[in-house]
Structure 1
Amino acid sequence: MANARRLAKRAGVGAVASVAVLGLAATIPTSAAEELQDVFAAGDESSTGEAAAAGEWREAFAAKGMDVMYTSLAAADAENVWALGSQYPDDSDTPRTFVQRYDGAEWTQEEVPADWTLEPEVAGASGPDNVWVVGPTADGVGAIRYDGTDWTSHEMDAGLTPNDLDVIAEDEAWLLAEDAAGETRAVRFDGEIWRDWTSPPAGTSQAIDGIDGETVVAVGRNDASQPSAALYDGTEWTDLEVPEVELPSEIASATFNDVLVRAGDDIWAVGYVHDLNDDDINDYWPLTAHYDGQSWDVTVDEEPSGELVAVEDDGAGGVWIQEESWDPTFVHHDAAGEVTRDTPDIENYDLNVRDLALIPGTEALVSAGSAYDEGDPDVPTGYGVVLASGL
């Protein structure tokens, strides 16, 4: 998810930060334009044919009739992309691990042992021969790994609840999780086994991303109901001191859902401010933040239009941000500061998107999830779906 640039401004950690609250001030890096323009682009609903134009999202693969729902993604290069999920053959209540691979031309199902029950929760890849997937199994929690030839099973602490996974290299992968007591846990793969590692501060258990073993960032929400972030520098975790967000009420909270680390002085985090309105209905204000190595710029939208669930590099100096999991909108901030939006649509279906990934070496992105019958039918049906932009 991140490139190989290293931490450039380590001395800036903990510096005074600025914040723009409940306003749409421009807070993207200085390399981007100071003002954002909303440009709405029509989506490409087709699932076949040539790649959609840049910025347009389409259905790239539909697992119709396969009894599978996708829950995570891993992308290594243009010829190695995996959509991962669970299959329930013959109306069975026991899931079977399902792996679908894109080789640059077509999607094919990969063979894995028929008795694997791992339900892919998080996944990542540092190359076509180093793919990790972690999720619950019939026995607790487990991991599977692809080495370029075979998929193998690996043991994990059965008491963990995985939240996010970042695969940096063959000897560097991080799992961010919570234990049975709800405490934040960091587990690191060192090239041989997964080991308990120094955990980030409490409240940073939501998402993790890094570029090497000395530049890893975890984010979430702290005990003060404020967004939080911490940096691991190869030795210890340091609080990145996100400025407090003005909350609309005493019961409101602000959270980082996801983080993208492109360098120590180029970190994006996205999430939401949550509150209940007068009708006791949930309201979510989009929350966007950028860290330049010295301070954070944080923006909360003026209107409660939803939560931001994912942020990813666009391969060209900009970022993609996903709004909402259900019927998502993908927002593109290019390197010049122009903002475009696209809401993919599959006629008669509601979309639930679970993961977002850049295909390294390209400007193409993929997202995996499921399409369900529109509305609330008595007997709902659906299928796994892969969405793509530029693929």
Structure 2
Amino acid sequence: MPLCVLVAGLLAGHFLRVTSVAHAHAAPAPAAVVRPPVAEPSAPADPGDEVAPAGPTGRLAADGSLSDVAALSESDVWAVGQQNAWDLWRNRGVITHWDGSSWTEVAMRGDTTGAGHLRSVSAPSADEIWAVGDGHDGLPYVAKGSRNGFDRIGVPQFRPGDWLGGVAATAGRVVAVGSRDGHALMAASAGPGKGATWTTTDGPDGALYGVALMGKADGWAVGDSGTEPLVLRLSDSGWKPAPGVPKIDDGFLRDVYADGRKRAIAIGGVYDADGSIVPLVLTWDGKRWKRDRPPVRKAELYGVTGDGDGTYWISGYDPSHASESFVLRYDGSHWTTLRGEASTQDRTVRLQAVAHVGDLTIGVGHALDDKNHYTDLVERFGPPPAP
């Protein structure tokens, strides 16, 4: 990274404290031309994971990045990210919507300061979409809206230096997670006036990057303590450290998906001695978390989703196939690796998030070219097109 960019980032507070290992990458997202993903020959492709017609990118401006995606149907998909990612003074948060045929940016209203990097999106219904990230006023940014536009939601308890990495919402509750002064931070709003009144809770040492809710008072949040994975469990008594989490030195968790009280999956990585990252996958069986071993030895895992019935998709980056998009499919016993076509360009592709609905699995992220320019990227996996 150029020294001027590094210094500007430090002055602006855009880099996480030393204890945050997972989102050292929570940066720009570029894309290349969408390319049809194909299954790795190392594992048989499931019929439901054949190539879908390649959709367009989110068509963001220069140095655009998509950080997260949420899908209500195959024609109702939301993604968030940023544009002008390298310019800390002019970068702009983006909320964009797919209607089945095209992407359309949806405006954020009535906020003169504006959003910077938007990192996470949750879509409990078509009329209630939540997004979180950074505000240009130095405070975390929380927005709520629909296709008609978004409004910034004020959270009086937020302070300069607070940071948000993830959001999840259900009909009864919305929770945003991140960090404050080296501790995990949880902000929640519930009840009939959801979004109007908030409570914030400081957790143990570390930071949280992903959150999943199964109901009003049941959920998971994941991150790292600075030295090992951090998992918190939400119950009627609030957030508490989860039982049965393996102790993994230099490990972290970036995202979590739950399809019931007795089944969940969390993904992240472990820093190896040579500085590379070993994939980390933990699964919950209702009593404890156990470690599962994916078929790649060196890869960065960013996002996870599922079909609610025990099959999961994990997006990320595989340095051994840097120019191709990378998704793992896991049904609890078998792994399948899916990749996009290799590019003749010198580029690095990262799928930072993934969503699944119906027959469609959609990943969003970026491609970084040899001049360090980002382009937002959308990859679609699904059943083969009809003849």
The TM-score, its normalising length taken from structure 2, stands at 0.73
Aligned to 1:150: 149
By relative contact order (CA 8 Å, sep 6+), the higher-ranking structure is 1
Structure 1, unaligned runs of 5 or more: 1-36, 43-51
Q: Which amino acid aligns with 1:340?
A: T
Q: Please list, as runs of the form range in 1=range in 2, the aligned pairs for 1:1-391 lying within 5 A after superposition.
A: 38-39=42-43, 54-56=49-51, 59-63=54-58, 66-67=61-62, 68-88=64-84, 93-113=89-109, 117-119=114-116, 120-140=118-138, 141-147=140-146, 149-156=148-155, 157-159=158-160, 160-169=162-171, 171-179=172-180, 181-190=181-190, 191-193=194-196, 195-203=198-206, 205-222=208-225, 225-245=227-247, 252-277=249-274, 282-300=275-293, 304-314=297-307, 316-324=309-317, 327=322, 328-334=325-331, 337-345=333-341, 347=343, 348=345, 349-359=347-357, 362-373=358-369, 376-377=370-371, 380-390=372-382
CA distance in 1, matches of 2:281, 2:295: 12
CA distance in 2, matches of 1:366, 1:299: 24
* 1:228–1:241 CA contact under 8 A, matched in 2: no
- The 3 A distance-change label for structure 1 pair 226 and 103 is same
For the residue of structure 2 that corresponds to 1:269, the secondary structure is: strand
* 1:321–1:331 CA contact under 8 A, matched in 2: yes
1:301 Cα deviation after fit: 6.4
1:97 Cα deviation after fit: 3.5
CA distance in 1, matches of 2:72, 2:318: 24
* 1:285–1:301 CA contact under 8 A, matched in 2: no
1:289 Cα deviation after fit: 1.6
For the residue of structure 2 that corresponds to 1:39, the secondary structure is: coil
Q: Deviations over 1:130-178 (max 9, x none)?
A: 1011121221222221145332122242532112111222x41110011
1:316 Cα deviation after fit: 4.9
Aligned to 1:24: none
1:92 Cα deviation after fit: 10
Root-mean-square deviation (CA, aligned residues, Å) is 3.2
Q: Deviations over 1:269-323 (max 9, x none)?
A: 222222323xxxx132222221111222223569842233222103553111224
* 1:95–1:117 CA contact under 8 A, matched in 2: no
- The 3 A distance-change label for structure 1 pair 239 and 78 is same
* 2:106–2:149 CA contact under 8 A, matched in 1: no
CA distance in 1, matches of 2:326, 2:287: 31
1:256 Cα deviation after fit: 2.2
For the residue of structure 1 that corresponds to 2:299, the secondary structure is: coil
Q: Deviations over 1:62-107 (max 9, x none)?
A: 2558323323323232332122233349x99513343321112322
After superposing the two structures, state which structure 1 stretch, 57-66 or 188-197, moved more: 57-66
Structure 2, unaligned runs of 5 or more: 1-40
The alignment of Structure 1 onto Structure 2 pairs a total of residues equal to 326
Identity in percent: 18
Q: Which amino acid aligns with 1:242?
A: G
Aligned to 2:8: none
Aligned to 1:7: none
Q: Which amino acid aligns with 2:175?
A: W
CA distance in 2, matches of 1:144, 1:74: 15
Q: Deviations over 1:110-139 (max 9, x none)?
A: 344495631312211101111011121221
For the residue of structure 2 that corresponds to 1:62, the secondary structure is: coil
CA distance in 2, matches of 1:174, 1:316: 24
Aligned to 1:48: none
Larger radius of gyration: 1
CA distance in 1, matches of 2:267, 2:217: 22
Aligned to 1:33: none
1:383 Cα deviation after fit: 2.0
* 1:366–1:387 CA contact under 8 A, matched in 2: yes
The TM-score, its normalising length taken from structure 1, stands at 0.73
* 2:221–2:233 CA contact under 8 A, matched in 1: yes
Q: Deviations over 1:215-240 (max 9, x none)?
A: 111122336x3323221112223332
* 1:283–1:304 CA contact under 8 A, matched in 2: no
